[in-house]
């Protein structure tokens, strides 16, 4: 009897930060590479990454992804200690980092990670400059989402 193959995730998206889209107005998006250890890449291939409370911190002219959680696989991490929530370096050009630093300091933006995805066999992180939404903006977002769902239902019935 032959073994059944596992179904692989064909989508290039590893994980999304849906909460960021609800909490913030997204102003500008940038793609950045991520410096990862071998066990982290293996766990991301299995879809074990989370960006829920993650943000981007710029210190000493380098960008760091803080708060991202990558749960280690039991079989891949037996011989060394893993740290799932460690800070990971983002790979950006110096000009991009300077631009981010300038906008964060001068205009009051925050830098947040929106998504992790595969691109040409490498893990990329989509980061964004964001401004916080107020409560009435969040309510309006919910109202628009509900209205869009209702429109889809009405159109599906026809």
At residue 137, the pLDDT reads 78
Residues 44, 118: Cα–Cα separation, whole Å: 10
Residues 122, 113: Cα–Cα separation, whole Å: 17
pLDDT in tens, 17-69: 888 888 888 889 999 999 988 888 888 888 888 898 888 999 998 999 999 88
pLDDT in tens, 67-120: 988 888 777 656 666 778 889 999 999 999 999 999 888 887 899 999 999 999
Token pair, residue 9, equals: 């995730």
Residues 48, 96: Cα–Cα separation, whole Å: 29
At residue 1, the pLDDT reads 52
Token pair, residue 119, equals: 């691109």
């Amino acid at each position: 009897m032959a073994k059944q193959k596992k179904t692989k995730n064909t989508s290039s998206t590893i994980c999304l930060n849906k909460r960021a889209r609800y909490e913030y107005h997204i102003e500008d998006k940038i793609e950045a590479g991520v410096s990862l250890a071998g066990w982290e890449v293996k766990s991301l291939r299995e879809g074990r990454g989370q960006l829920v409370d993650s943000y981007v911190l710029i210190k000493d002219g380098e960008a760091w992804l803080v708060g991202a959680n990558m749960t280690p696989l039991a079989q891949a991490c037996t011989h060394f200690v893993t740290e799932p929530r460690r800070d990971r370096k983002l790979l950006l050009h110096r000009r991009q980092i300077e631009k981010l630093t300038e906008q964060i300091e001068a205009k009051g933006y925050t830098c947040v990670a929106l998504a992790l995805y595969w691109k040409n066999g490498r893990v990329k992180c989509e980061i964004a400059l964001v401004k916080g939404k107020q409560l009435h903006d969040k309510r309006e977002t919910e109202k628009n989402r509900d209205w869009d769902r209702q429109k889809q239902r009405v159109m599906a019935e026809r």
